[in-house]
Structure 1
Amino acid sequence: MDSICNVVPVPCLSMEQHDKSADRPALFSITDKKAIDGEIPGLTNANAWFTPQGWILLRSATATFLQNPQDSGDKVQLPHLPEGLSTRCSCVLSGQSSLPGCVVLLVEPVATVIWYCHIGDQEWTRHEYDIGTQQLNPPERENVPICDIAALGGKFYFNGCFETMGVLEFTPTPVFTSIEIADPIAGGLGVMGMAEGYLVESEDELYIYMVCLRLDGDFKIYDMTVHRMDFLSQKWRRADDIGGRAFFLAPWYFGASCSADEYGLEKDSVYVSYASDMCFEVSRVEDDATEIHELIGAPDSTMWILPLQSRD
């Protein structure tokens, strides 16, 4: 029997349905701008974590595995994941799933806790981390959580900002360090007001997509830029293009990259899903020109399903 059935075209959006009688997410094609008549075996509204590498981490009642969204027979078995983890966790692989020592990492959305396993391990490890504190309502302080994360060269980079960027490496236990960003203002990251950064790994390079918000009460976006990390000089350098590729951002989850030509996407563009506004945006890197596409009837939770990265 062919393991590929009802192949879902990727990239697409997975949208959790409000209807309690529907336990599977709805799928939406971003190229055709319409719902997809298909499903991914085993995928429900409450048992999946999506990765920028294209794999979906699935937990059934008895097993946990990485699933190829386009081939029900293509799985990577993992130790069984404990119950109770939020589907809001970010999930990232340290590299290709076929490589020895590949780490599967889950980052809890609020608590300063990560879960990880190496492919081939017998169990997941829970680890509480401490990367500093931040002041929200003076004089109260709280621990800083990992907010955005990307994998490159076997390491994880997180919380990219103007002055520093965190680094997580498994040796095999977690080791946290940081990179001091040299001259962020000259690199184009010196902005006034609020800003959000989304880290994206693309073809063995690390990028940050900066979204700057105007402090006028409406928090409107007024600037969107892409910068590439120059690891030799430890500087962010403004990028006028992203190599003809397309970036995908899922706020609070991950940033990812794939070929624009291969999948009929806009070259050198950034796709961002906004579940609460029931839309996704496509912005050109060259001039920030943005198109908004409505997701009619979309629920509050949406997630990108992406093609698998090459395992060559």
Structure 2
Amino acid sequence: MEEADDASAAALDPKLAPLLLFGHGDATSLYSVPTRALLPTRVGDGGVDDMMRGHRWWTTAQGWLLMARRGSPCTFLWDPFTGRRVGLPPDHDGTVLAAEGSSHRRRCLLSCCGPMDPASCVVLVIDHADTVLWYCRPGDNHWVKRHQHQYLQPGPPHHEHRGIVIRALRQLTAMDGEFYTDLIDHVAVLEFSPEPAFAVTAVDDDDRRPAVYMKRTSIFVESNGELHSILFSHPIGCDRIVASVGVYRLSMATTQEQRPAWVKVDSLGGRVFFVQIGCFGASLDARTTGLRGNCIYYSGFNGKALCVYDMERGTTAVINPGEHLPYHQSPKILMPTR
């Protein structure tokens, strides 16, 4: 299952992570958030830049990259900090990881911290524009395709609910070997045992209801085994502007009469969250990165800019990762592998 990689000498230094990964043309640029510096491009050493040129790739919250070799059905998970690879089933007809030029329609999730254990790790691929998903486990011989015709919201299925299902699949987040997503007044859980099945649970959502701004962007983050919801509120008609940021933790019910509830929090417990809009959210111990705790780093609203929301101060700072980088180009976030 695990394969050696002779590129380990060219692997990234984990102390530089998290990083912003910019892909433009055939080149890639890396910006280290802890050091606030662009890394020099290294070509011809079998490192990150060479790997990106030869593959289509997708980031994950656990730092591993899903790789699809150009012109080949070969797919695998790759750790850019050690060079480790984990083989995955081939994508013979090119439908799992999409054709050239349409990679933005796919998103990859891992059910656990690392893909080393095929018995517990599920590799999940989501289509951003359809109610379809693919999954496999390391060591499998093929990808399995599933259409989510059993609509996730309570009540009988209706055609107009298709958009709700697509949005729910886009927001899936891994926690404790399962995948969680947000529904109106409900949380849906996708588990593999071994076949995929959704369970929908009603939650008390009063704290998250908008008081002023009606347009919001939400994303889940798993942190220390607890599920958090980050809500970015926008003025109507302008989702590039973030007017406020709210953080909520899912408090589980302690009695049969109670329902789980979203509870607003004013601290991340000293941790730091990284959020890539439309992709994933991840949590880190601030002490291991040298970053200030109780801060949310997020990208995806304003091109190349990385914004930092400080929960203690209630302020937002903006980081420009490089003057030469195109403004409109949103980076991918490369987390340290777990």
Instruction: Provide TM-score, normalisation by structure 2.
Output: 0.80
> Is 1:119 the counterpart of 2:148 in the alignment?
no
User: Counterparts of 1:87-102 in structure 2 under 5 Å?
Assistant: 87-88=103-104, 89-95=106-112, 96-99=114-117, 100-102=119-121
Gaps of 5+ in 2: 1-5, 154-158, 254-258
Number of aligned pairs? 295
Change over 3 Å in CA distance of 1:275–1:59 after alignment to 2: farther
- Mapped partners of 2:312, 2:223: distance in 1: 17
User: Counterparts of 1:1-312 in structure 2 under 5 Å?
Assistant: 3-8=8-13, 9-17=16-24, 19=25, 23-37=26-40, 38=42, 39-40=47-48, 42-44=51-53, 47-60=56-69, 61=72, 63-72=74-83, 74-82=84-92, 83=94, 85=98, 86-88=102-104, 89-95=106-112, 96-99=114-117, 100-130=119-149, 131=151, 142-144=162-164, 145=166, 146-158=169-181, 160-161=182-183, 163-182=185-204, 184-185=205-206, 187-192=207-212, 193-215=214-236, 217-219=237-239, 220-232=241-253, 233-274=259-300, 276-295=302-321, 296=323, 297-298=325-326, 300-309=329-338
- Mapped partners of 1:140, 1:198: distance in 2: 23
State the 1:98 CA deviation: 2.4
Gaps of 5+ in 1: 134-138
Q: Going by fraction, where is helix more abundant, 1 or 2?
A: 2
RMSD of Structure 2 on Structure 1 (CA):
2.4
| Structure 1 residues 213-248: Cα deviation after superposition (integer angstroms, max 9, x where no partner) | 222x44442221111111224111112211211111
SS of the residue corresponding to residue 304 of structure 1 reads strand
State the 1:46 CA deviation: 5.7
State the 1:11 CA deviation: 0.8
Amino acid at match of 2:186: T
Change over 3 Å in CA distance of 1:10–1:81 after alignment to 2: farther
Change over 3 Å in CA distance of 1:6–1:56 after alignment to 2: closer
Change over 3 Å in CA distance of 1:107–1:2 after alignment to 2: closer
Instruction: Provide TM-score, normalisation by structure 1.
Output: 0.86
The answer on whether the counterparts of 2:73 and 2:91 sit within 8 Å (CA) in structure 1 is no
| Structure 1 residues 269-293: Cα deviation after superposition (integer angstroms, max 9, x where no partner) | 1111136532010001234310011
Change over 3 Å in CA distance of 1:44–1:168 after alignment to 2: farther
